[in-house]
Amino acid sequence: MRFLRFSDGVASRVGVLAEGGEVVRVVEGAGDLLPLIQAGEGELRAAGEAALRGGAAVEAAGVTPLAPVGTPPTVRDFYAFEQHVAAGRASRGQAVHPDWYELPVFYFSSPYAVTGCGEVPMTPGTAAFDFELEVAAIVGRGGRDLTPEEGEAAVLGYCVMNDFSGRDVQRREMRQGMGPVKGKDTATALGPWLVTKDELAGHREGTGYRLAMTCEVNGVRYSEDLWSRVYWSFGEMIAYASRGAEVRPGDVIGSGTCGTGCILELSATHGPERYPWLKPGDEVVAAIEGLGALRNTVTEGVPPVPLRP
């Protein structure tokens, strides 16, 4: 099933895509997917099936999808595509660190920064605003000290993720051996739907799925990769996240940027003239085959509030 959350102008609602994606069938009484996810996969599926049988119909073309989960319990963003890692390290004159092949590292991002389709503000104070094309898994079953097989079983479904980043702010923070912090937590877009993993089963290949990942800026293709090129599987990522700690239903697990999946990587390879940083008014469309297209328009960020005179 393909679940989505959208606004009716007064409150958020939950629905299921039906009739070839042209109609949304409303899940009665639901304003967020998180309570349904926390109730268990069976409850979520039952709610979706009931909506498909008799839920109110809304034209899909007339709604703007919100993030499927409004405020996830946690957002962990990994670093799982080798091409992106290698390109970033090469731009700094370094090889991929051997530990990267042993440890699927991640950072915690802010659940409060999660948004869906629509406007995204620039990081306060940035002059180097960037997108990051990723796939996200939504955890359906919690656990601790999971095996990779158990981690894979814990995945409920997937959505597109665009981890917007203020690169100059991020760079300054990380020089201090901490972060990323404010360079990352202004806007993290998720959507447009939550697609249950059974919908993708026929595309499984290696550590991922043979599904195309693309990103366009103002109609110009910037990024193109395959999800199946990911080095670490979501089962492995979730197992590592659960090592000595909990993962819980509704947690978001980001893959990290795919190959060619951000301006930072593209400009280092092809030059900033060809791939300039994002600016207000730019439309960014991050898409993954089978998961839909996440559409965002960049807006001006607020000025940073001074910390001291």
Q: What is the pLDDT of residues 274-294, one digit of tens each?
A: 999 999 999 999 999 999 999
- The per-residue pLDDT of the chain, averaged, comes to 97
What is the pLDDT, as a whole number, of residue 88?
85
What is the pLDDT, as a whole number, of residue 192?
98
Domains and CATH numbers, the chain: 2-63 (no CATH), 75-299 (3.90.850.10)
Left, alpha or beta for 173 (phi > 0: left; psi -120 to 50: alpha)?
A: alpha
Q: What is the pLDDT of residues 140-164, one digit of tens each?
A: 999 999 999 999 999 999 999 999 9
- Amino acid present at 307: L
Q: How confident is the model at residue 214 (pLDDT cuts 50, 70, 90)?
A: very high
What is the pLDDT, as a whole number, of residue 89?
87
What is the pLDDT, as a whole number, of residue 38?
98
CA proximity to 158, closest of 299, 253, 50:
253
Q: How confident is the model at residue 8 (pLDDT cuts 50, 70, 90)?
A: confident
Q: How confident is the model at residue 131 (pLDDT cuts 50, 70, 90)?
A: very high
How many CA within 13 A on the CB side of residue 281?
A: 0
What is the pLDDT, as a whole number, of residue 236?
98
- Which residues, at least 6 apart from 183, have a Cβ–Cβ distance to it below 8 Å? 123, 126, 165, 166, 167, 168, 169, 170, 171, 172, 173, 174
Q: State the average pLDDT over residues 255-270.
A: 96
Which of the residue ranges 38-42, 55-59, 178-182, 245-249 would you say has the lowest mean pLDDT?
178-182
What is the pLDDT, as a whole number, of residue 104?
97
- 276 close to 98: Cβ distance less than 8 angstroms: no
Q: State the average pLDDT over residues 184-212.
A: 97
Q: What is the pLDDT of residues 59-114, one digit of tens each?
A: 999 999 999 999 999 999 999 999 999 988 887 889 999 999 999 999 999 999 99
